[in-house]
Amino acid sequence: MDTSGGNGAVFSYASGTGSVPLLGETIGENLRHTAERHPAREALVDVAAGRRWTYAEFDAAVDELARGLLARRIRKGDRVGIWAPNCAEWVLTQYATARIGAILVNINPAYRTHELDFVVRQSGLSLLISAASFKTSDYRAMIAELGFEQTVFIGEAGWDGLLAAGQEVDPAELHEREATLAFDDPINIQYTSGTTGFPKGATLSHHNILNNGFFVGEGVGYTEADRVCLPVPLYHCFGMVMGCLGATSHGACIVLPAPGFDPEATLDAVQAERCTSLYGVPTMFIAELGHPRFAEFDLSTLRTGIMAGSPCPIEIMKRVADEMHMSEVAICYGMTETSPVSTMTRRDDSLARRTETVGRVMPHLEVKIIDPDTGRVLRHGEPGELCTRGYSVMLGYWQEPDKTAEAIDAARWMRTGDLATMDAEGYVNIVGRIKDMVIRGGENIYPREIEEFLYSHPDVADVQVIGVPDEKYGEELMAWIVMRPNAEPLTAQRLRAFCEGRLAHYKIPRYVHIVDGFPMTVTGKVRKTEMRLLSLDVVESKAR
């Protein structure tokens, strides 16, 4: 990997090489090839529903649903929505839409009527496949409120009727449809959670997500012997790309422990299904490690897994590697618009590399770190905006060319909005979001650095640091802290005493807010924008 710049200087640019070429096929073709190689191996286990499929059975079930969609006159390029928690039908819909060239629109299970209405209209849905309800969400009532009639409810007569209608479609019609597909066709729309305004629909192709899932699987060494436990939501790239496509492109088994994240159900599924890999965002691993019965579960079959979605605390990563037997656990970094993974730690990386960085650029991709104002590539160690280029960059935002042009430049570099550094060996460290950077009295402060330090406090279970308005300095730091069980709540004074002499004075949080948890997205990302709004009242009350 050559990261040398001109004139003898060394710049933060890296290109990923590899001996394995990109896959030049559609998702449907790739699944068929896997099923031909490993027909008797298990492809999918829905633990909560007590159902399982071999690859031969799964491939046939995908065909059955694909023919049902053809019976509903779903054309190539039509948008088909999926609104449901994790279940086997979600996975079948993912592969069946790909097999006929329909564009799967992933709908966040936490959406309410207003958000659903936006997605239905903006994407131009032809059909919605939905759960009837999940937790406190009455999907049926919300869909009825919108008056969207082209809906099939999973597990009900409509779903059975969809499959039955497929029996009347000649298999030759499905093969004819497949023959019209190209791997650069759009196949998936995922709505990114915008902090302002409406979300944007990142549009991804077969080539984007099949290859990204495949190379993530290569990175953790998947073979047909692996069993991948997925407690992360399928509607996000973490679940459907890194999880499902990472598994099926290698003949591994997908294990769904529960409809939604449940630490006990996850631990139980790993034990019962003898999983070799486990995915999660940091808060999920924290919940699993903190489960009262954690020590009772046999997790000895685990060897690898992926932690991603938000910055991974070093101490948690070490416990996952040691106490959960995941010695080969990987850190992945990316975003929906890049399918999602751009950098990843490798199995032979040292523990320090796998706890202190997000790894190196993936095969067949490029990354660089630039000055966000000038676009100039920075030297090693200098923080700037991370950009990605290659097969993984999305086709664009659905029907929003202006917003696409803001995100992807003329040379096809995707600007991530993340602040990062790169060292001389190409390892990337995420410093924070450009929007999260705190400027206190002219000093640039990166919350991630302070969070990592505060995790070393013996009474701190979890922590997030944000900037809040201040008349004198422009911004001040506030630490939201979740305490360990039975620990005495920290005060600002006690926290300052812990930090003094170990952190620069301007990096010590002025405010401490003790909480039970943080506002989170469904995918486990902390909503710092919401935290800042909620913190205004706290700051005002402390100022009085």
For the residues 329-353, what does the mean pLDDT come to?
93
Q: Number of C-alpha atoms within 13 angstroms, CB side, residue 484?
A: 11
Q: Give me the phi and psi of 349, to 5 degrees please.
A: -70, 150
Tell me the pairing of strands 103-106 and 186-192.
Answer: parallel
Q: Which residue type, as a one-letter code, is found at position 177? A: R
pLDDT-derived band at 5, boundaries 50, 70, 90: very low
For the residues 322-346, what does the mean pLDDT come to?
96
In the DSSP assignment, the letter for residue 265 is H
CA distances from 497 to 285, 457, 503 (A): 30, 11, 11
Higher pLDDT, 537 or 99: 99
- What is the DSSP track for 363-427? TTEEEEEE-TTT-PBPBTT--EEEEEEETTS-SEETT-HHHHHHHB-TT-PEEEEEEEEE-TT--
Q: Which residue type, as a one-letter code, is found at position 446? A: Y
Cα–Cα distance measured from residue 19 to residue 329, given in angstroms and rounded to the nearest whole number = 22
The domain of 492 spans 437-543
Q: Is residue 456 part of a domain?
A: yes
Q: Which helix (H) or strand (E) holds 8?
A: none
Do 332 and 310 meet the contact criterion of CB atoms below 8 Å apart? no
Q: Which two tokens stand for residue 516?
A: 């039970």
What pLDDT score was predicted for residue 471?
Answer: 82
Cα–Cα distance measured from residue 12 to residue 34, given in angstroms and rounded to the nearest whole number = 38
For the residues 23-31, what does the mean pLDDT come to?
98
Asked which of 127-131, 162-166, 284-288, 390-394 is least confident by mean pLDDT, the reply is 284-288
- Tell me the helix, strand and coil percentages in the chain, rounded to 5: 35, 25, 40
What pLDDT score was predicted for residue 544?
Answer: 58
Asked which of 277-291, 418-432, 518-532 is least confident by mean pLDDT, the reply is 518-532
What pLDDT score was predicted for residue 8?
Answer: 43
pLDDT-derived band at 207, boundaries 50, 70, 90: very high
User: Is 453 a residue whose pLDDT tops 50?
Assistant: yes
Do 285 and 308 meet the contact criterion of CB atoms below 8 Å apart? no
Q: Is residue 321 part of a domain?
A: no
What pLDDT score was predicted for residue 1?
Answer: 39
Tell me the pLDDT tens digit for each residue of 174-204.
Answer: 999 999 999 999 999 999 865 445 789 999 9
Asked which of 213-217, 257-261, 317-321 is least confident by mean pLDDT, the reply is 317-321
Tell me the pLDDT tens digit for each residue of 482-504.
Answer: 999 999 999 999 999 999 988 88
Q: Is residue 296 part of a domain?
A: no
Cα–Cα distance measured from residue 389 to residue 360, given in angstroms and rounded to the nearest whole number = 14
Cα–Cα distance measured from residue 217 to residue 235, given in angstroms and rounded to the nearest whole number = 19
Q: What 3-state DSSP class applies to 116?
A: helix
Q: Which residue type, as a one-letter code, is found at position 87? A: C
Angle at 341 between CA 336 and CA 342, to 5 degrees: 115
Q: Is residue 58 part of a domain?
A: no
Do 202 and 397 meet the contact criterion of CB atoms below 8 Å apart? yes
Do 489 and 445 meet the contact criterion of CB atoms below 8 Å apart? no
| Span between the terminal Cα atoms of the chain, in Å | 57
Across 175-211, b (16+ Cβ under 10 Å) vs e yields eebbeebebebbbbbbbebeeeeebbbbbbbbbbbbb
Do 186 and 396 meet the contact criterion of CB atoms below 8 Å apart? no
Q: What percent of the chain has pLDDT over 90?
A: 79
Q: In 3D, which of 97, 38, 106, 40 has the Cα closest to residue 70?
A: 97
Specify the CATH number for the domain of residue 522.
Answer: 3.30.300.30
Q: Is residue 83 part of a domain?
A: no
Mean pLDDT of the chain: 93
Q: Which two tokens stand for residue 67?
A: 């023919």
What pLDDT score was predicted for residue 189?
Answer: 98
How many H-runs (helices) and E-runs (strands) does the chain carry? 18, 26
Cα–Cα distance measured from residue 384 to residue 531, given in angstroms and rounded to the nearest whole number = 24
The structural domain count of the chain equals 1
CA distances from 481 to 196, 378, 463, 468, 509 (A): 26, 34, 5, 15, 11
Q: Is residue 227 part of a domain?
A: no
Cα–Cα distance measured from residue 339 to residue 237, given in angstroms and rounded to the nearest whole number = 7
Tell me the pLDDT tens digit for each residue of 246-260.
Answer: 999 999 999 999 999
Angle at 359 between CA 356 and CA 365, to 5 degrees: 155
Tell me the pLDDT tens digit for each residue of 98-136.
Answer: 999 999 999 989 888 988 999 999 999 999 999 999 998
From the centroid of its chain, how far is CA 68? 30
Tokens 């290659």 — which residue? 390
Whole-model pTM?
A: 0.86
Q: What 3-state DSSP class applies to 186?
A: strand
What pLDDT score was predicted for residue 523?
Answer: 62
Cα–Cα distance measured from residue 316 to residue 324, given in angstroms and rounded to the nearest whole number = 11
Higher pLDDT, 125 or 3: 125
Q: Give me the phi and psi of 287, to 5 degrees please.
A: -65, -40
Q: Is residue 111 part of a domain?
A: no
From the centroid of its chain, how far is CA 256? 16
For the residues 320-341, what does the mean pLDDT come to?
95
Tell me the pLDDT tens digit for each residue of 58-80.
Answer: 999 999 999 999 999 999 999 99
Q: Is residue 444 part of a domain?
A: yes
Cα–Cα distance measured from residue 312 to residue 400, given in angstroms and rounded to the nearest whole number = 33
